[in-house]
Amino acid sequence: MLRTGLVIDPRYQEHHAGAGHPERAARIEILLAVLDEFRRPEIERLDPRPATVEEIALVHDRAHIARVDATAKRSFFAFDPDTWVSSRSAATARLATGGLLTLVDAIMAGEVNNGFALVRPPGHHAEFDRALGFCLFNNVAIAARYLREKHRLARVLIFDWDVHHGNGTQHSFAADPTVLYVSFHQYPFYPGTGAVGEVGDGPGEGYTVNLPLPAGSGDQEYRHLFAQVVDPICRQFDPEFVLISAGFDAHLRDPIGSMRLTADSFGWFTRMLLRLAADCAQGRCAAVLEGGYDLEALGRSVLRVLDDMAGTQLAEPLPALGAPPDLLPRVQAVQRRYWELP
């Protein structure tokens, strides 16, 4: 039986980004409420711990960490027009990063097989020396480097299905062939990065795989690209751990993005990635919450992912795909320079 770790804590509501901000405490409130009725014996709750300065510094400049910590003395502070914090935000951000590291450690110890860290603030926009796009510390990038440094893994996959491109994650590993970064995202869109030709630098060239999709793309376009581009590339990379930047703002109900994914597709992605993890990474797979700003869509989508992580859906056949998206040949042409695609 699969055992799935779950990290969630009321303290993740203590970060406040200002009245009317979409990245709000209600995101955790709704998840706590729906999870109270989500009773599965396979789910094991894990208590998060704050990340240390040394752990955050695996990815971030220590001066940036100090700037974030200094906001604990301010009622409100703006890092940029989108990224506001309050006096409890720095502590909450440390707990968010530490929550994912708690999950990663539990998976590596064999205490659980996989899991989901439902944390906030999100992280994939945060750069080496800069908070950006609602994000203070890059949780998933820190976890990838933590797996490399502490657990001595040779290859880590980060798959990002948030509607926005994870600029901070891409830049963290642009020259690093030990971390494969793969991203689905609306394009052109904030933050402006993530073109198909952005493939990494130097020894990391080819280990960044961007799959930019036009506004209005939905289940079939995403699934086709995953099946025909993402899955074969990831299997050639042969990861020892699969990390997921799980944003749900590509859902058709989301007020920020313009994509048309359903909760079923987030479950489909999860099943595909769990199959990859089972074949390559001893089943080791951890997701961390990124975006997702419609509360109903967020709750449904998170439950669908947890169902697939803890359930028997891995044995179910995958549905047939429809017509491929128009951009498929262009994406394949770029990636064939680095990977053996059919």
Question: Residue 17's Cα: distance from chain center in Å?
Answer: 21
CATH fold for domain 4-335: Arginase; Chain A (3.40.800)
pLDDT of residue 37: 86
How is residue 329 written in tokens? Answer: 């040949």
Cα–Cα distance for residue pair 219/321, rounded to 1 Å: 9
CA atoms of 221 and 265, how far apart (whole Å): 11
Q: Rounded to whole angstroms, how far apart are CA atoms 163 and 247?
A: 7
- Is 224 known to be catalytic? no
Q: For the packed helices 295-310 and 263-280, what is the interaxial angle rounded to 10 degrees?
A: 30
Dihedral over Cα of 271, 286, 47, 91: its sign: negative
Kindly give the confidence (pLDDT) of every residue in the chain, 342 residues in length, as a single tens digit, with 9 standing for 90 and above.
679 999 999 999 999 999 999 999 999 999 999 999 888 889 999 999 999 999 999 999 999 999 999 999 999 999 999 999 999 999 999 999 999 999 999 999 999 999 999 999 999 999 999 999 999 999 999 999 999 999 999 999 999 999 999 999 999 999 999 999 999 999 999 999 999 999 999 999 999 999 999 999 999 999 999 999 999 999 999 999 999 999 999 999 999 999 999 999 999 999 999 999 999 999 999 999 999 999 999 999 999 999 999 985 555 555 667 777 899 999 999 999 999 998
What is the spatial distance between Cα 306 and Cα 317, in angstroms, rounded to a whole number?
Answer: 18
Could you count the other beta carbons within 10 Å of the beta carbon of residue 86? 18
Give the Cα separation of 158 and 210 in Å (integer): 12
The residue type found at 189 is F
What was the pLDDT predicted at 342?
A: 83
Out of 16, 60, 124, 125, the active site residue is 125
Residue 123: CB atoms within 10 A of its CB come to 30
274 three-state secondary structure: helix
The model's pTM is 0.97
Residue 20 and residue 208: Cα distance in Å, rounded? Answer: 35
Q: Tell me what pLDDT residue 335 has.
A: 98
**Residues 232, 211: Cα–Cα separation, whole Å:** 14
Domain boundaries, the chain: 4-335
